[in-house]
Structure 1
Amino acid sequence: MRTTADQLADVLDHWQSGTGPLYQQLADAIVALAESGSLEHGSRLPSERALAQRLHLSRNTVTAAYQQLRDQEWLEVTPGAAPRLGSLSRGVMALSPQDRFAQILVGQQPPLVAFNTASPPPAPIVHQALNNPSEFLGGQAVIGNGYAALGDIDLTRAIVDHLRASGIRAQPDEIVITAGGQQAVWLAVTGVASDGGAVALESVTYPGVFDAVAAAGARPMALPMTRDGLDVAAAAKLFKAARPDAAYVTTFHNPTGTAMSDEDAARLVAAAASTGTTIIDDRIIGDISLDGVKRSPMATFPGGRSVITIGGLSKVFWGGLRIGWLHTNATLAAQLRHRRAAMDLGGPAMLQRIGAKLLSDHYDQTLEWRMGELRDSLAVAMEVIGQASVDWEYTAPVGGPSLWVRLPDGGAERFAQRSAAAGVPVAPGSAFEVIPGAGADHFRLPFYLPAEDMRLGIKVLADKVA
């Protein structure tokens, strides 16, 4: 039977081909085993003396490595007992929902170039609105008690008009205004998934959904994907066999940038309706069409009355506005509106008023501007990757703001660690995977930044990380 020391010896052989003090390499090896799931939370590590003998290292080296891991809270130490892996380690099944989500967040100290998040900077109209809210709104910006707990009426009407323009026959009492798309996802999943039930997810998917599935007490179930996106025929068979409570899908798939045809989307809606599965159609990036083809909301197809549609302002205007929404039947909407109000009293009324005007008066022209910025950024990204001495592989996306990049030699977790150390963090594929290993050789590369930032970030990744 292979011991923990044997596993560490194998990993350390790889690390010792690099640079840095041996105690650091040993600490990194232990962290790598924990992050891969080879060592679970609570696993007992060898004593300092036993590990030093097995690895042919000085005891001082092992002592220094263990001390660093204790300082970083990877190890828990009880007097007289062997050290154990602490709360930072994860089990063999997958990253925790919180670990996944942390991979796509920018820390309190902004990096050189942040490639781990796919949220664009504010559009010019947002600067105008926030620099002088009263002028933008055409009247006093600060009114009333500052709360709009159940949603600003003008914003609700603007969302209804926006959804109707896309073909959804929305009514005001069917709208829930949320603190961005993330809260909409959380409310939708926890509102329809049952304790012990299944939520179907594409085999790689948006990391923010995992916490919602866990909060509902549900279990994720992987929908098969091909190189071109969701395998709709296989998904329909899986619906029939497993009858999941819900299926979460994105219009332009996050992170691969693929999309279903309207014909396939209609087939998926019909399959879900036949099994009582609620489709959650995340359209946060639904209008970010790089190939110029508009994809219809799933709620517009036969059987679509049971579809929950999610939208928001983050990708066209700015995520800092924290305005999203979901559309569902009036009964569930009423429940979720009050549930959201109990969480945070509905968010700032002033921002909701600004959001209403942005959506009603400035959406089309801002979307056109954003699409131009994204296409320019994508062109720069592909140019710099082509010029760099890297063997990254990707397929040009049909929509959305990201490239799903394959590393032929694998090791996306380690690549992400090195990229973060170089000041250009990326999100590894493991943050997106439903099936362990589905994203192990990929990382997500957003392309929403200005050309100079894209050039700098990719060059750092190519020169210092790859």
Structure 2
Amino acid sequence: MSSCRRRDLPAPCPSTNTVAQELARQGPMRPAMVQRWRCATNTTGRITRLLAGWESGSGPLAQRLAAAVTDLVDQGDLRDGDTMPSERSLGAALMISRGTVTEAYNLLRDAQVVESRVGSGTFVTSVGGRGGGGPRGDARLTSFGSHPVPRRHDLSSGAPGGLDLVVEHSDRVLRQARLADLVADDGYEPAGLLELREALAGYYADLGVATSAEEVLVTSGSQQGLAMVAAALVRPGDVVLVEDPSYRGALDAFRAQGARLVPVPVDHSGPDLEVLERLVRQLKPRLFYSLPIAHNPTGSVITPARAAGLTQILSGSRTILLEDGSPADLMLDADRPPTPVGHGLPPEQWVALGSVSKLFWGGLRIGWIRARSSFLDPLVRAKAVADLGSSPLTQLVAASCLSVVDEARAARRRQLETGYAAAAAILNADAPEWSFTRPGGGSGLWVRVPGLDASAFGQHARRHGILVSPGPVFSAVEGCREYLRIPFWREPDALGDGLTDLIALWRDHQRAPTLGTTAGPRHPSP
């Protein structure tokens, strides 16, 4: 993998090494350690994500902020006893003055939504909060589908738009006699249509993994598959290893099951095997969640040596590899993805996820779980309870599209090569301070901006109509604070306009060192 700068990049999230190495040096987790790492997720980060768009509407900022927090309590996103961020940290994260947060907290205290204890902080109260309930996610997917602030540029999503061939194959399916046969039946297939499961078995066979239709469960997108596997395998308190950074939806899914997430540093060659080996040996984790091919968000592709080392480490344990191959077909330096890493493990230690969203189109909402049939049987029953099965129509379209998977891979590769070249040229010319490495796959750049508070800058950019994903949303420990994920799949003109405006906004941000403690010109403090 070639670098776009004269110097090599550091590990994607240097702060992760501190967490992982300290854990690796320790013996089995003692209760105090468990509590410490359970609380490693930054409260400010989660609440900031939940408050996305809070500033829309009318009235003084403090009233808007208090109303937004009250809504979170009413909806159960914040519960009795939850710790609120300090006034200073929330003000910095939202890029408003501390005085505005103080006024908002006063309004919340008056309404008995929160209470403050000297020396302890501010907490949601039983009067205002719903209380109780099970574990919750981290609100890392809030950028999807909710944009209360007018947008000029959306640089937040790494999911490419659909290929033209999806329209062609949809039209073909609508004219097939098979559709008429399906419509004549009830349309409920919890495991998925046989023709799609057979097509997916062929997909894996082409990658060197013999697979039967009985080893595939069709889901409504890979996110549903991820949530189902997490619910089946993870119990509150279980240790789950995750790469850092990692797919933000996975962090949400595991936290929703009460998992204790422990980060494993990842670089351009794959996960850090020394840290992984120590954590597996000492913590005996339930799962290791990995995106080894076209990693999200870094775009790295695991090397054969790392892949062999990973399977060797896990094969001597009871840890299950949950391998997410959802982005694997987006290869920049190869015609097709390599063989999945987990094929070298015993069947009971490997569960694979996949999706047509990245390669074909996310709107099809078709994903899958590939695992031994005995593991899938209870999940099929759970799928029936959840939604009685995914859409037969989009399953037919997905099966038809898979018949031209190599053509689709080539089309995506051309699109992403063009986008990467455009993004790299702009960043090299207009933001030489920003560092990135050419990814081996995926649809985005993992960009380091020295000295940046990415979460605060993301709030600032949102107010100026630019949506961007800050590094901490991809980190189990709110690390990667100097990183932004920049998608490059859009058309060069749209991509260029968005990047140019983002860089200009960053330069203005650099010239305004007090910006993190003020509301900015568009939202003055009352």
> 2:347 touches 2:371 (CA, 8 Å); kept in 1?
no
**Match in the other structure for 1:66:** 103
Q: How does 1:273-284 map to 2 (within 5 A)?
A: 273-284=315-326
8 Å contact from structure 2 (residues 201, 211) kept in 1: yes
Q: Structure 2 residue aligned with 1:231, among 262, 269, 272?
A: 272
- For 1:342, give the aligned amino acid: V
In 2, Cα distance between the equivalents of 1:390 and 1:69?
44
Distance 1:345 1:112, change over 3 A: farther
2 CA distance for matches of 1:405 and 1:147? 44
Give the corresponding residue for 1:121.
161
Aligned to 1:255: 297
Match of 1:444 among 478, 485, 493: 485
Distance 2:86 2:359 in 1: 49
What SS does the corresponding residue of 2:354 show, helix, strand or coil? strand
Q: 2: distance between equivalents of 1:414 and 1:222? A: 23
AA at the equivalent of 1:332? F
Name the counterpart of 1:421.
463
Letter in 2 for 1:245: R
Distance 1:425 1:390, change over 3 A: farther
Q: Deviations over 1:32-70 (max 9, x none)?
A: xxxxxxxx7346879xxxxxxxxxx9xxx9589836996
- 1:78 equivalent to 2:111? Answer yes
Change (3 A) 1:280 1:45: closer
Separation (CA, whole Å) in 1 of partners of 2:276 and 2:101? 51
Structure 2 counterpart of 1:213, from 234, 245, 254: 254
Pair 1:286–1:44, CA change in 2 (3 A): closer
Answer yes or no: is the 8 Å Cα contact 2:333–2:441 preserved in 1: yes
Q: Secondary structure at the match of 2:154?
A: coil
Cα offset, 1:332, TM superposition: 0.8
Q: Which position in structure 2 is the counterpart of 1:99? A: 139
The structure-2 alpha-carbon separation of the partners of 1:462 and 1:339, relative to structure 1 and needing over 3 Å to count, comes to: same
1:382 aligns with 2:424: yes
Matched, 1:319 2:362: yes
Q: Distance in 1 between matches of 2:64 and 2:196?
A: 52
Higher relative contact order (CA 8 A, sep 6+): 2
Q: What does residue range 319-338 of structure 1 map to in structure 2 within 5 Å?
A: 319-338=362-381
8 Å CA contact 1:306–1:328 kept in 2: the answer is no
Q: 1:285 aligns with which of 324, 327, 349?
A: 327
Matched, 1:148 2:189: yes
Q: TM-score, normalised by structure 2?
A: 0.71
What's the C-alpha RMSD, in Å, of the aligned pairs? Answer: 3.4
Question: Aligned pairs, how many?
Answer: 411
Say if 1:177 and 1:337, in contact at 8 Å, map to a contact too: no
Instruction: Say if 1:147 and 1:345, in contact at 8 Å, map to a contact too.
Output: yes
* Cα pair distance change 1:69/1:98, threshold 3 Å: farther
Give the Cα separation in 1 of the matches to 2:192 and 2:112.
Answer: 55
Unaligned runs of 5+ in 1: 1-22, 32-39, 47-56, 88-95
Cα distance in 1, alignment partners of residues 262 and 485 from structure 2: 22
Task: Structure 2: state its 5+ residue gaps.
Answer: 1-59, 69-81, 89-96, 117-121, 126-135, 508-526
> How far apart, CA to CA, are the structure 1 residues paired with 2:390 and 2:450?
45
1:308 aligns with 2:345: no
Distance 1:389 1:166, change over 3 A: closer
Q: CA deviation at 1:226?
A: 4.1
Structure 1's 372 and 210: CA in aligned 2 closer, same or farther, altered over 3 A?
Answer: same
CA distance in 2, matches of 1:431, 1:460: 22
